Structure 1
Amino acid sequence: MDLHTVEALRSPTTRAELWPLDAGDAILSGGTWLFSEPQPGLRRLIDVTALGWPPITLSDSGIELAATCTVAQVSGLSAGLAASHPRWTAAPLLHQCCTALVASPKIWRTATVGGNVCLSFPAGSMISLLSALDGTVTVWRPDGTEYVVPVTDFVTGASANVLAVGDVVRSVHLPAAALTAGTAYRKLAPSPLGRSGIVVIGRRDIDGGLVLAVTAATVRPYVFRHPSVPTSDELAAWHAGIPEGQWTDDAHGDPDWRRAVTLVLAEQIRAELS
């Protein structure tokens, strides 16, 4: 879609050239959502791909994914890590979460981690991945400082997050400790090619603890942590504690359906990871 209100395109090559930014500016990376519908308040596009961030950085501490890393590159990591980092047994989850984004291969090759996180949609596939693996988001501020925030605190609601005007997401990080876990993945949508209505991911850490992440079904991520495999009653009690108004209500599923089926899938995962 043509964005008829856009008057300028900037392609900064250094961090200092990113700013100033105001409410009429938009960060452009993949642009798959930006160009999908009218953006009447938009005046400038700031193309961050010219900054040349390495899409993927592997280290002993885990995986850093640049905001400009594409969904296809995240998916490709699953197979590559099996050979290069066999201890990271959670590697298949990277591809699995990408499949929660129902899109063509062309979109996969264009859509980015940063765009998915910044849109903060309940069904954000990268948000599901980060929630399940203790992912954090690094944000650059216009004053030259930066901060790191867990994705579960970054996303505050449907299409809402902590970013202030001028903030730029630089990267996300998946810690090595979470990557060494065993995982289980469940996704449901109201139609075979529909947007994810419920995503539930379980993680069994090497110390025996269990982590359960719920996304898409709720307007923001909810994560349950237990030092061992919880009982069905403990899991149900946590599920019951998710506030009534936090269940997503849109064309892809009613809140009552999401609430009920989330518990069914969570119980399946609890049994699988026991």
Structure 2
Amino acid sequence: MDLNTVEAVHIPTHRDEVWPLGPADAILAGGTWLFSEPQPAVARLVDITNLGWPPITTTADGIELAATCTLDEVATLSRSLPRVWSAAPLFRQCCTALLASFKIWRTATVGGNICLSFPAGAMISLCTALDATATVWRGDGSGYTMPVAEFVTGEATNVLEPGEVLRSLHFPAAALRARTAFRKIAPSPLGRSGAVVIGRRDEDGRFVLSVTAATVRPHVFRFPTTASPSAVRAALSAIPEQDLTRDAHGDPDWRRAVTLTLAEQIRAELA
């Protein structure tokens, strides 16, 4: 879609060239959502794809994904990561939870998916399931790091203040070595996710369960050891009613019910 209110495109090549950012400026990376509908409040695009961020950096401590890393690049990690990182299949599984064509996969970015903060954000599912942390840059040269599970605060809302830019996501090696189980359900086979539930069994026996799409913000539950069906049900039943997603892709009572069903399947698989 043509954005007929845009008067300028700025393409920084260094961090200090990104700012200042005004209320009529929009950060551009993949642009798959930005160009999908009118943006009457946007007068300038700031294209961050020339900042030279390596899309994927792998170290002994884990994986860092640049905010500009595409979903297609994320999906390749399921094939390329060392076998010791048992959670590798989850990268592609979460990409498939996004209703998108291969053309979108090659353009849409991790950062864009997370910063939009929609309930069905597939990269939000991936990051919260694997305890990823987000690094955010401020215009004064400072920055901060926080868990992605706390970054998203509601439907299309997050902690970003005006002028802040998501730089990268870090996945710790301990979570990558865990066994994982993935479940997604939608009203139609190729429809937007109604619920995404992911389980993780860590090397020390801890059990982690994350719920996204069914809720307007991520919910992560941690158990010190194998959880019983009643413990999982009690934890999920505590999700507040106002946190359940309400839209055309599933009623709240349906989302709560299928989340409990999927969580029990995951609990049994990882027990």
Secondary structure, aligned partner of 1:51: coil
Partner of 1:61: 61
Alignment map for 1:36-55 (pairs within 5 Å): 36-55=36-55
Secondary structure, aligned partner of 2:175: helix
Aligned counterpart in structure 2 of residue 163 of structure 1, from 160, 172, 188:
160
Partner of 1:218: 215
Question: Within the alignment, does 1:181 sit opposite 2:178 as a pair?
Answer: yes
- Aligned counterparts of 2:199 and 2:125: Cα–Cα separation in 1: 11
Deviation, 1:64, is 0.2
1:52-76 Cα offsets, whole Å, 9 max, x none, are 1000000011000000000000001
Partner of 1:75: 75
- Aligned counterparts of 2:30 and 2:62: Cα–Cα separation in 1: 24
Q: Please, what TM-score do these two structures have when normalized by structure 1?
A: 0.98
- Aligned counterparts of 2:220 and 2:239: Cα–Cα separation in 1: 10
1:216-235 Cα offsets, whole Å, 9 max, x none, are 00000000000101111111
Alignment map for 1:134-153 (pairs within 5 Å): 134-153=131-150
1:192-243 Cα offsets, whole Å, 9 max, x none, are 1110110000000010110000000000000000010111111111111110
Match for 2:157: what amino acid? A
Alignment map for 1:1-274 (pairs within 5 Å): 1-81=1-81, 85-274=82-271
Secondary structure, aligned partner of 2:36: coil
Which structure 1 segments of 5+ residues have no match? none
- Aligned counterparts of 1:79 and 1:169: Cα–Cα separation in 2: 26
Match for 1:122: what amino acid? P
Identity %: 68
Q: Please, what TM-score do these two structures have when normalized by structure 2?
A: 0.99
Deviation, 1:42, is 0.3
Counting matched residue pairs gives: 271
- Aligned counterparts of 1:193 and 1:273: Cα–Cα separation in 2: 27
Secondary structure, aligned partner of 1:268: helix
- Aligned counterparts of 2:125 and 2:210: Cα–Cα separation in 1: 7
- Aligned counterparts of 1:270 and 1:159: Cα–Cα separation in 2: 30
Match for 1:116: what amino acid? N
- Aligned counterparts of 2:180 and 2:89: Cα–Cα separation in 1: 8
Which structure 2 segments of 5+ residues have no match? none
- Aligned counterparts of 2:143 and 2:215: Cα–Cα separation in 1: 28
- Aligned counterparts of 1:201 and 1:90: Cα–Cα separation in 2: 11
Match for 1:175: what amino acid? P
Secondary structure, aligned partner of 1:261: helix
What is the CA RMSD across the aligned residues, in angstroms? 0.5
Secondary structure, aligned partner of 2:35: coil
1:16-65 Cα offsets, whole Å, 9 max, x none, are 00000011111000000000000010010000001010000000110000
- Aligned counterparts of 1:88 and 1:232: Cα–Cα separation in 2: 27
- Aligned counterparts of 1:161 and 1:24: Cα–Cα separation in 2: 19
